[in-house]
Amino acid sequence: MGMVNIGGLQPFVDIMIPVLNAISFQQIVPNFKTVAKKMKREIAYSGGEGRIVNFTPLQSTSKHVKNLSSYLIIENMADSVTLNSAAKDFAEQVGKIFEAANTIWGFIGKHWKFPTGLDQNVNNLKRKREQLNGQKEDTASRIKAEQRPRKKVKKEVKLWLENVERVNGEIQNLESEALGPSSFYSRGFLKNNVWKKIEEVEQLLGKGRFSDGFVVDDPLRMGQVLPIPSLVGETAALKRNEILGYLMNNEVQKIRIYGMPGVGKTSVIKLVNNELLKDANQFNIVVWITVSRKCGVIELQNKIARAISAVISEDEDETIRAGILSEIFAQKGRYVLILDDVLDNFSLEKVGIPEPTASNGSKLVLTSRSLDVCQRMDCQVIKMEPLPEAEACTLFLDKVGQNLMSFTVLVPLARSIAKRCAGLPLAIITVASSMRGEYSLPRRGNALEELKRSVQTVMDVDVKGMVYQQLRFSYDRLNDPKIQNCFLTTASYHEDSGIHKKQLIGDWIRKGLIDMGNMQANIDRGQAILGKLIDNCLLENVGNGRVKMHDLVRDMAVLITQELYSS
């Protein structure tokens, strides 16, 4: 008895049927009957008694299996030679079936698994996803901890996070498919997809360790967070927000902040600098330069070059150096250049600073103690005013330290100091910081008087050293003895409500400090001098046609007068 077994197609026959139909496999099946009839005729012709027991079906629930998965049994073949032709035809038909089956299974086997245990695999995938999302949260926390100005997240980390987001969405889709209705063969494909997704998640878990860190240096990002004193009250916050508002306004490219020394210009602009560095999407570089009193073009170019990590040869002349700086700024993209304490006018072009425009999105910020500095630059002007008395008192109590704040006797002293410092944060912080070393107040009855004398010593030594020196520079910068004399005589007025401008100009004229030949010329000259003193923050407008001299400015004026008379 000879036997040919085609029952091996049973495990995947259900999922093969649609494909077999697509290649007209049904045309092959009838050939079995044709071959069988031919074989029987040839057996009969040869006189043999062989017979064909055709297609004994295996157990199956599919109607197709009954036609395909069978045993063909040939018995009692009298003459095997006479069967050669029929057997050959039959073998060719069977060969075609197996060839088609192998091709189809080669394709389907890569994408299909027997669907038992699908639910267990889905649950395993969920656990893997939870582990992956935990690793994602840890990665986000470490990125936040490592993120600094001039740093950027590694490209491989960004791609990993993107892949995690993608895989999360795909897992959610697979879960939905597993819960929905599906056929036997479609669940086999689903199980295979779940297995592949588990493998992908495991690969992501392995790749997401990033033992060498999550950020790298960003050559296009520059800037440095600056230390600042903690400022209390609304004034500093309001000024910071005002400046930031102009920086985010496309119609404003240049901003100039001015005010008298010690009023808090540098502290507020440091707040702005640090705030800009928090948002990497606004500007590529934020450059801070402190401009010294004697800072020419070459020196300013050197400071800018160091700040942006550029190398400029000292042998190059100003024009070439300016061209190099301008080219570097253009390559960096949108920038904010902060020049603190600018005392003299300068040309952006000569230094090599590209003109900030709405099209390039760059900004220039200047701070100065004089309004007339850089007036030709068409800047948005912001004036820094001294602190209101209540905020000045609060600032003093905040800086003096917890050990002294509990003494109620300090409250009137704080008001007195705040008034004496006339709202200048620098002076207030200087006095308060000097008192932090006092761990307790004297216990004698004249404790307050002793503390006042201690404060006066600080005012005379520390504050004069820090504030008077800067104020003296503003006085020296007037560069005109007549204007300087007008300023010194103004120190003799002590009215809290201010001095009327007309009265002040009249006094200058009567004292012979102004002599232009006629009264109108004298008045015009007096108004020009008054404007000069206001612009240099040596006098301040108080409204109603009046001006006032800051208490610390008056103290400086008195000291200068004493120096002049003593010499």
How is residue 9 annotated by DSSP? G
Distance between CA atoms of 95 and 334, rounded to whole angstroms? 72
Q: Can you give the pLDDT at residue 156?
A: 92
User: Which residue is associated with the tokens 């029952």?
Assistant: 7
Q: Can you give the pLDDT at residue 57?
A: 38
The DSSP code sequence of 118-139 is HHHHHHHHHHHHHHHHHHHHHH
Residue ranges in the chain whose pLDDT is less than 70: 1-117, 149-150, 180-189, 218-221, 229-232, 293, 401-410, 434-467, 495-497, 567
Q: Can you give the pLDDT at residue 369?
A: 83
The residues pairing with 335 across neighbouring beta strands, listed in sequence order, are: 285
Which residue stretches of 316-409 are H helix?
318-332, 348-351, 389-400, 402-405
Q: Can you give the pLDDT at residue 2?
A: 39
Note whether 561 and 492 are within 8 A (CB): no
Distance between CA atoms of 533 and 369, rounded to whole angstroms? 11
Q: Can you give the pLDDT at residue 484?
A: 93
Distance between CA atoms of 275 and 288, rounded to whole angstroms? 13
Q: 356-415 pLDDT, tens per residue? A: 999 999 999 999 888 877 777 888 999 988 888 888 888 887 877 656 656 666 677 777
DSSP element (H, E) containing 378: none
Q: Can you give the pLDDT at residue 29?
A: 45
Note whether 392 and 428 are within 8 A (CB): yes
Note whether 392 and 431 are within 8 A (CB): no
Note whether 9 and 68 are within 8 A (CB): yes
7 token code pair: 């029952």
Q: Can you give the pLDDT at residue 521?
A: 93
Amino acid at 63: K
Note whether 125 and 197 are within 8 A (CB): yes
Distance between CA atoms of 362 and 535, rounded to whole angstroms? 27
Q: How far is CA 179 from the centre of its chain?
A: 41
Q: Can you give the pLDDT at residue 397?
A: 79
Q: Can you give the pLDDT at residue 69?
A: 37
Q: How far is CA 258 from the centre of its chain?
A: 29
Q: Can you give the pLDDT at residue 84?
A: 55
Please count the other Cβ atoms lying within 10 Å of the Cβ belonging to residue 312. 19
